[in-house]
A and B are shown apart, each in its own frame.
Chain A
Amino acid sequence: MSRLLTYLFGRLPIGWLQLSHNKARLAAAVSGVAFANLLVFMQLGILGALNGSTIAPYTMLSADILVSSEDGNTLTDSGNVARTRMFQALGVPGVASAAPLYIGNLPFSMTDGTSVSLLAFGVDTSHPSFVSPVIAASLGALETENTALLDTQTRGVPETAFHGLLEGKPFSFEVNGQTMTAIGTLEVGGGFLADGTLVVSDQTFLRFFERRSSGAPSHILIKANDNVSLDSVVERLEAVLPAQSVKVQTLEGAAKADLAFMSTERPTGIIFGFGVLIGIIVGIVIVYQVLSTDVADHLREYATFKAMGYGQPFFLGVVFEEAIVLAIFGFIPGFVVSLGLYAGLSAVTGLPVSMDASRAILVFLGTLAACTISGALATRRLAGADPADLF
């Protein structure tokens, strides 16, 4: 290590030698940085899961534009839209087709008494183009009364049920005194609002949600004609549909708005975002403490180097070298432990908690930046190194 750093710096790696000389302090410092990394990774992981589960339902849909209730917050947290808006929309130039989408939360109990909450999507089986290919392939089967596609990542449902489904054996369960039969599977993943996802026909949906009306779907999905600007179609729809009761967004724009809402307006998003900030502050404080103590402990040596003719850039280099060493050495264990915790958390909660390269790089760069800030703060102590005091 010393040889490598000597080669890289073109001088003795004083910072590394100082840190590695006191093994206990190095271990404590690395543990501190690793802990701060772990905090940030976990918060980002959960925040990522929140975002992932917010976006996931959109993967089941295939549409260009979404017409929603004006007071709706997200795809799954929205009021109803009068179906007449769909017919109005069909009359707007540029609109090729439209279909209603029904969404509701369906709680049911497993035979072992476990309560599971499913987010049910009721789709128009006559419009396969509005759903993903996996769902479209099963739309014919869903026309059978009380049949459904069940999310394989649903929390609380025994894995054996999915094994049977994958082998073509239907899995029945009871909801609101009626029997629902899962005839196929899809993969969406659990979220913060429900344990899993269920896709049914609009007719089955209305049968299970007795208070819902076919005339009031949750959203209206719209496909635009080819080679037509989506923004212009949105503008035309907004001109026709009453702004006080509905909002018109592209599907992509709606997904982004959902993410923004969940991240900045829902307590969960704010809490996890705040957790990231706390992790960063903890990391800065830990590294600052380590570096400032190290500078204080070596003031006499630094003063000697000043007497020998070493200038301020050398000392700044040493402190920043220490900061970078701590950042790298702290990041590695923090990253590895986070991978394990992500896997454990994902297995236990069913949430899509996973590491991706961009997050790892972001946290690493953030760690470098935080350690550099700490180093910059610690360099103020260098002023105390006065070579005249050596005599």
Chain B
Amino acid sequence: MTENAPIISTGLNHSFGTGEARKQAIWDVDVSIARGSLTVLMGPSGSGKTTLLTLLGCLREVQDGSVRLLGAELRGSDEAQMVMLRRRLGFIFQAHNLHESLTASQNVLMGLQVHGAGNARMQLEATHHMLEIVGLSDRMNYLPGSLSGGQKQRVAVARALVSNPQIVFADEPTAALDKESGLNVVAMLKALGQTRQTTTVMVTHDNRILELADRIITMEDGRIVNDAET
């Protein structure tokens, strides 16, 4: 386990429900993810990979064990500390979760404005540049309702990456994309790892992108059953 890894979990357990309805979803997970790597979490539905992603991603309270994220212990952290940590992360959701009232450009801008008002013109330029990178320069002022599923996902990717996050957590980011678009998105995440040392943790069932992964962690019944570097 590398001490300066951006993500380190030790003896991590997590349960849902109480009393007789209590069900343990994560069992004693020890994992350390290296800076700049592209790690894929695989496994059947209900294997605990999404729960693990939310625990590592500071979206769920750590009940038992330890998660050190970017050097900060998440167990026992208060809401304000969690909020500040999340600003250093990027999230890509399967359902993209774009704000329907905001244009593509405004959705991406939200990823920047969380860091403060800053220089509005520079923020706008960065937003437009990010949308150009994901191939949506001609859709900047479109509302999500006017975009295709793939275009929405690319906006979500742009939103997650525009603030240069140190870690990107992605849940099935290629599910709504065709093969070429999917590979482009993952290739972009991998390139970020190489150029900016951005760490990516991705849950996916998409075998087409496994060849780009640096590491594949397979989970079953809340446990890591296979952990392989490629």
Contact = CB atoms under 8 A, between A and B. Distances in A.
Given A311-B80, A388-B60, A11 B86 contact: no
B136 to A, nearest CB: 18
Nearest to A21: B101
A306 B99 CA distance: 13
Interface string B74-113: 0000011001111111010111010111100010011101
Contacts of A312: 79
Contacts of A305: 110, 114
A12 B110 CA distance: 8
Contacts of A21: 100-101, 143
A308 B86 contact: yes
A130 to B, nearest CB: 67
Determine the interface band of chain B, counting residues with CB < 8 A from chain A. Answer: 35 or more
* Nearest 8 A/B pairs, CB to CB: A309-B87, A21-B101, A309-B86, A10-B117, A304-B97, A17-B101, A388-B60, A388-B59
Give the most central of A10, A304, A305, A312: most B CB within 10 Å: A304
A311 B78 CA distance: 12
B99 A391 contact: no
B162 to A, nearest CB: 11
Interface of B: 50, 53-54, 57, 59-60, 79-80, 83-89, 91, 93-95, 97, 99-102, 106, 109-111, 113-114, 117, 120, 143, 159, 171, 203
Contacts, number: 77
A14 interface: yes
A73 interface: no
Contact of A12 (B86, B106, B203): B106
Given A12-B109, A391-B54, A17 B80 contact: no
Contacts of B93: 304, 390-391
Interface in A9-47: 10-12, 14, 17-18, 20-21
A309 B53 contact: no
